[in-house]
Amino acid sequence: MSAISLLMGLLLLSYVGSLIIGGQKARGLPSGIEFLALGFAVGPHALGLVERSMIAEFEPLVQVALGWLAFVVGLDFGRVNGRRVRAKPMVLGVFCAVLTGGTVALTVYRFFCYVSPFGIDPTGVLLLACGAGAVSAETTRFGVQWVAVRWNVKGPVATLLVEIASADDFAPLVAAGAIFAFAPSTHVTLVMPGAGWFLLSLSLGGLLGTVTALLLRGAEGYTVWGALIGTLLLGVGTATRFGFCTIFVTFTMGIALASASPHRRALRRMVTPTERAVLYPMLLLAGAHIDARPLLENRMLIAVVALALLARVVGKLLSGFVLRATLPAARPAGPLFGIVLLSSGPVSVSCGFAFALRFPGRVGDTLLVCAAASAVLGELVSTFALKNLLTQLGEATTVPPPPLAPIKTAPSVPPPPPSFEAARTRSTSAPPGAIR
């Protein structure tokens, strides 16, 4: 397959993804692992239709896609369906992610205290443990949203879950930023401790977000997209150059932009529909990048992946207990509430992919496999557990959502650039009361 064919394939996926945004049905799987699987199937380690060199050629595109997804998460961080996430679920969402990530990281690290890590140096072991924690921390909001749309879910537990799932993206992205900061690029001439690099990457994201907000004051037409894409590319380019975590930098950028710009609502309406269009090609390339050879050569790494998954289950069960103990709305969910938090998806895979690109070899490949395995586990266990739970609680019905009436635009509205108009139409096209 030539590079141009791969590009056409990615554009086709992007096309499919952007069609799904406009749809009312929950199409595909919530974590998008089917695209991951497709990528693996066509990748160099299965059918070989896409060669490794070609994936390397597309690395800039991957970095931008990862950056864009994290930017969208940052821009919409702390909000669900246009309204602010309540403080308590927000704090608990982050805490639960830290708890799960910490459990996984500690378990993997302790494992290597008893077992010799063949071919991985002590720094690599630390990186592997912390990275496993970062890629295992998330509960994807897509899982809850998927169930919500498919079974017309409404109720306090579903709302709580989507809030927690939305808030907990913070932990893995910040953890990835911190881990990368302790291993800056070898080309950098400046010597600084890890904390300094972390602050620098944080400042880069914050500064670019603020500059974007300044640039968007009264911006018109294509200049809005120009400013967004321009700062994102500059951010991704600079972060990659320094060896920073691109997804952390752009996530920070998104938060800073949402905080500093008075146009945050319009921006969210513009940007959010692009998420799936970027996500599917990214998942395909992530799948193609999965290399299981290091794991097969060093069986110890298979044990690491299994252990990380087990620790994730324990971490999420603990999180379930914490949530039930602190939030009255979560109490009816029962003792296995943590199981429904097991779904993982784009943020985990993005983290895993970012690690695989930055630390190629055993560590990076293991972390990407870890992220993919976590998504598969979540898909097998969590989605249906969630559906069953919400049905038991009476929050899910089998009645399909009511069809939408045609949308009319107020005639007094000045003709906005079509991107905003489309964004507004899309934002109003969600079924009333449904959780997006």
Partner 1 sequence: MSGSAPHGKTWVGRGIDMLSLLILSCIMWGAGTLVPGHEGEAAVLGALGFLLLAGTLLSELVEVLGMPHLTGYLFAGILAGPHVLHLVDHASVKRLEPVNTLAIALIALAGGAELRIATLKQELRSLVVALALQTILGVVLIGGVFALARPAFVANLPFTGLVGASMLWGVLAIARSPSALLGVLSQTRANGPLARFSLAQVMASDIVVVVMLAAAITLARPLLDPGTTLSTSAFRALGHEILGSVSLGTTLGLVLAAYLKVSGGQLLVVLFALGFGATEVLHYLNYEPLLTFMVAGFVVQNFSKQGERFIHAIEQTGGVVYVVFFACAGAHLNVPLLKDFWSTALLLTVARAVVTIGTARLSSLIAKDQPAVTKYGWSPLISQAGIALGIASIVAAKFPSFGSGFRDVAIACVALNEMVGPVLFKLAIDRAKETKAPTPSLSDVEDAPPAASV
- Binding to partner 1 (CB under 8 A): which residues in 261-280? 262-263, 265-267, 277
Q: What is the DSSP letter of 428?
A: H
Question: Which residue of 1, 7, 46, 49 would you call a contact of partner 1, by CB under 8 A?
Answer: 7
What's the closest the beta carbon of residue 262 comes to partner 1, in angstroms?
7
What's the closest the beta carbon of residue 285 comes to partner 1, in angstroms?
14
What's the closest the beta carbon of residue 404 comes to partner 1, in angstroms?
8
**Contact region for partner 1 (CB under 8 A) — 7-15, 118-126, 150-158, 332-340?**
7-15
Distances (CA, A) of 284 to 226, 295, 396: 27, 21, 32
Site for partner 1, residues 386 to 425, rule: CB under 8 A: 405-410, 412-421, 424-425
Q: Specify whether the CB–CB gap between 331 and 386 falls below 8 A.
A: no
**Contact region for partner 1 (CB under 8 A) — 45-53, 112-120, 215-223, 311-319?**
215-223
The backbone torsions φ and ψ at residue 83, rounded to the nearest 5 degrees and listed phi first, read -115, 160
The backbone torsions φ and ψ at residue 245, rounded to the nearest 5 degrees and listed phi first, read -85, 115
Quick one: angle between helices 362-392 and 141-150, nearest 10? 30
Site for partner 1, residues 336 to 395, rule: CB under 8 A: none
Q: Specify whether the CB–CB gap between 99 and 315 falls below 8 A.
A: yes
Site for partner 1, residues 231 to 260, rule: CB under 8 A: 231-238, 240-242
Of the pair 191, 325, the CB lying nearest partner 1 is at 191
Distances (CA, A) of 203 to 116, 197, 206, 246, 414: 38, 10, 5, 13, 38
Of the pair 400, 418, the CB lying nearest partner 1 is at 418
Of the pair 116, 412, the CB lying nearest partner 1 is at 412
The closest of 131, 149, 75 to 432, measured between CA atoms, is 149
Question: Which residue of 189, 325, 399, 403 would you call a contact of partner 1, by CB under 8 A?
Answer: 189
Ramachandran region, residue 79 (left: φ > 0; alpha: ψ -120 to 50; beta: rest): beta
Of the pair 188, 306, the CB lying nearest partner 1 is at 188
What is the total count of residues that contact partner 1 (CB under 8 A)? 76
Of the pair 75, 340, the CB lying nearest partner 1 is at 75
**Contact region for partner 1 (CB under 8 A) — 10-18, 40-48, 152-160, 296-304?**
10-18
Rounded Cα–Cα distance for residues 81 and 89 (Å): 15
What's the closest the beta carbon of residue 67 comes to partner 1, in angstroms?
9
187 binds partner 1 (CB under 8 A): yes
Return the number of other C-beta atoms located less than 10 Å from residue 186's C-beta. Answer: 6
Can you read off the two tokens belonging to residue 416? 């906005």
What's the closest the beta carbon of residue 294 comes to partner 1, in angstroms?
24
191 binds partner 1 (CB under 8 A): no
Rounded Cα–Cα distance for residues 41 and 119 (Å): 28
227 binds partner 1 (CB under 8 A): yes
Residue with tokens 């919409």: 76
What's the closest the beta carbon of residue 349 comes to partner 1, in angstroms?
21
